[in-house]
């Protein structure tokens, strides 16, 4: 297929950030006198943001009066240890190199706030390579609305119909479809526990980063 750019979700698609997010959740559990949870329990919730992590860690949500304080404390723990164990997924470096070698732009579109996205992307060594880095607070609506994806196209002068969006959450696929992009589900990511990836109606499913090259035809 003819592609001008590949846009990636960040957590669970481009980078494995679950270890640091899980550590923040366990620090919060320690704050309230609870023992740590295994990362395997927390990992599937990593792409669901603060709500997902706090639900998994403390069985709490926005309906609880303590949620705003717990959310702020969780984010403070995460901010202080943003990129301790987070890494790009295996072979992601190779994929990005291959895209660049073939003059295909790539960028990042995430629901994560810019206060966390920007220092993380910088720590991963990607800030000068990406054609755009768009965070959730850069547009009026979060994914699954297409706002941030369309903003990425505007920033990088891209035609959405010639872009691929890769994500590990159903809302990523919905956002890509809403933006008129080809959608690719990253089955190697966190995926969540609700709807199986096979039912997301993605245009393609990959089980490792390098499989994307086959879709593009490289």
pLDDT tier for residue 46 given thresholds of 50, 70 and 90: confident
Residue 164 is given by DSSP the state E
Catalytic residue from among 9, 16, 168, 169? 9
Catalytic residue from among 4, 11, 20, 169? 11
Q: Kindly tell me the burial class for residue 88, based on how many C-beta atoms sit within 10 Å of its own C-beta (0-12, 13-18, 19 or more).
A: middle
How far apart CA 102 and CA 6 sit, in angstroms, is: 12
pLDDT at 144: 96
Q: pLDDT tens across 147-190, in order?
A: 999 999 999 999 999 999 999 999 999 999 999 999 999 999 99
pLDDT at 193: 73
pLDDT at 114: 97
pLDDT tier for residue 48 given thresholds of 50, 70 and 90: confident
Q: pLDDT tens across 67-86, in order?
A: 999 999 999 999 999 999 99
Cα 83 to Cα 54, 78, 80, 186, 204, distances in angstroms: 20, 9, 9, 22, 30
pLDDT at 57: 95
pLDDT at 36: 97
Q: pLDDT tens across 131-151, in order?
A: 999 999 999 999 999 999 999
Active site residue 97: no
pLDDT at 163: 98
- Res 1 pLDDT > 90: no
Active site residue 9: yes
149 phi and psi, to 5 degrees?
A: -70, -40
**28 with 74: CB under 8 angstroms?**
yes
């Amino acid at each position: 297929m003819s592609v001008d750019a590949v846009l990636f979700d960040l957590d669970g698609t481009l980078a494995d950030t679950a270890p640091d997010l899980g550590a923040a959740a366990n620090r919060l559990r320690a704050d309230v006198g609870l023992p740590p949870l295994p990362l395997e329990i927390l990992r599937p919730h990593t792409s669901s943001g603060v709500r997902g992590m706090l639900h998994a860690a403390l069985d709490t949500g926005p309906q609880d009066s303590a949620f705003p304080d717990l959310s702020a404390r969780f984010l403070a723990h995460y901010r202080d240890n943003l990129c301790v164990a987070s890494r790009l997924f295996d072979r992601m470096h190779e994929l990005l190199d291959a895209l660049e070698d073939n003059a295909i732009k790539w960028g990042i579109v995430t629901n994560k706030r810019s206060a966390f996205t920007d220092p993380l992307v910088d720590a991963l060594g990607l800030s000068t390579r990406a054609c755009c880095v768009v965070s959730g607070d850069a547009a009026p609506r979060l994914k699954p609305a297409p706002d941030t994806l369309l903003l990425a196209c505007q920033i990088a002068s891209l035609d959405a119909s010639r872009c691929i969006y890769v994500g590990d959450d159903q809302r990523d696929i919905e956002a890509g479809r809403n933006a008129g992009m080809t959608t690719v589900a990253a089955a190697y990511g966190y995926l969540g526990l609700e709807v199986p990836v096979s039912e997301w109606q993605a245009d393609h499913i990959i089980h490792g980063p390098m499989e994307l090259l086959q879709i593009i035809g490289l």
